[in-house]
Structure 1
Amino acid sequence: MTALGKTTTEGYRSGFACFIGRPNVGKSTLMNALVGTKVAITSSRPQTTRRAIRGIVHRPDAQLIVVDTPGLHKPRTLLGERLDSLVRSTLTEVDVIGFCVPADQTVGPGDRFIARELANVGRTPVVAIVTKTDLVPPERVAEQLTAVSTLGEFADIVPCSARDGFQVGLVGDLLIRHLPEGMPLYPEGDLTDEPEQLLVAELIREAALEGVRDELPHSIAVVVDDMAPREDREDLIDVYAHLFVERPSQKAIVIGTKGARLRDVGTRARKQIEALLGTKVFLDLRIKVAKDWQRDPKQLRRLGFYD
């Protein structure tokens, strides 16, 4: 028996993998597909992921903890610098790295930059993953596999689609192959180690990202101030949260005409939160302006982005 009360078979493997790639290449969607449920928010907006979110994949012969990292890019703000540092530190702490390159975009300078970075991570194996194969014909997938193979030395190269499930299981197999033998690190049934309040904040941010202007997504942050069951209702959880933007003009965009857009954000976020918590939710969502918070060390700490 292990410390977690699970009997392991001979050859059982457990350990950590991380996904790395340019912003918006499908890392979070792939992690969710591997885990089998939503543990990381997704959006068509680049640089949606701002934290190293862990998703836990349970198999009879292995436990794979996938760390979804922010997209690696040239930082333009203090927040960007901290996210870049987070990615680099994660690379040194995992057993295997999944390098994601989308099938529907030409291999470019950003991919080559990341490939050079990965060449310097020592002996950690790298699995190259061509994502979003559902968006292109098979011949384009073949071309992309060839292009990716020229970026470096990889332990494996595999195409997949998290949207339709194509070879998602194979991606898991290839990552697990590089894990060390060992006992489970998390109890059976755990799908993430993220606190519920953080997951709720991320779901609110995901709802707020939909349909906003290109310059706004990076300026949105969400903090859950309080979350608890209502005293006289066992079937209802009250959630009080603040959505932060950097300028008054951005606040007006999020609120929308006569508050229509903010109501829509609240409705969509509440449905996702109820699905996560398995109970009815009352969501009180308010907006504040935190001027230039992405560049202010004090405000970054207040919003949960530490050194």
Structure 2
Amino acid sequence: MASSKSEIEKLGFAGLPALAPDLGHEIVTILVGSERKKFTVHKRLLCASATMFRGAFSGQFLESQEGTMTLEEDSPAVFALYVEWLYRSSVSVISTDPHAHLRDLYGLYFFADKLLLPALKDKTMDAIQDVSLKHGILQSICTPEMIQKVWANTSASENREERGLRAFVIHAATYVLVKRAEVDPDDEADSEDDLYEKMEVRKQLVCPNKADLQWMWELSKGSFEIYRQFIYRIDWKSSLIGDPRKRYHNNPRSVHRFHCSKKGFNAEQQEDMRLSRRLAAATLSQGTEQG
């Protein structure tokens, strides 16, 4: 019995590989990285996923004529994750080297940002949170180098609503500073920080030690936005700040906390459905041409 429209929509992107005729038989080759690692992908699927690929493999462009495209500046490991998402609509959280996998997930997020794919950014954000929490990785995901890299490789639009990977790394760095301050609130004797110890509301107050404040200042000097987000989070109730890696599935706001889309999974489903319609339209167009 044929699947109803609603069933196909529920399957979304993940169900498309099972519908083999929809993918067509035309294969394109993507050469990735300086070593030009070879990937072969269904042309229709790749073109439906992003405008960049659709533009490259259409018309009179060389890529379209040869069926080959080179992404020399991108990482083969990152593109492998992208291909996995194309065919499975999932981002892997399983790896024998979680630190390396997290670096690749950051790279996948940057790649998704470049391709303007908010649904993939959200899935990747979930994977980053899950992998870092599962393996107890915290400080290495929000080092100064990593924060600067995130700012250099993501769009400034994430600043407006404090969402996405930019918000996550700042939140993680703040969480590290706050937790460290709770254990050792100051590295000097008789400083102004010590006054807090005498206050009844000390449990809700956090003052990072001098070295951490210096670190925050050095990191923020090149970006007012980084500085603003730090100051916003280190406030009078900063000791109550939560672990940004945790997602509580009984709380939708928590689950979608760092998603780029306010609609969370609904936006993701809508993007998958749009992709399904593109593939269906491509199939119909091919059938019309053959007829």
**Structure index of larger Rg:** 2
User: Could you tell me the TM-score, scaled by structure 2's length?
Assistant: 0.24
User: Could you tell me the TM-score, scaled by structure 1's length?
Assistant: 0.23
The answer to which structure has the higher strand fraction is 1
The answer to which structure has the higher helix fraction is 2
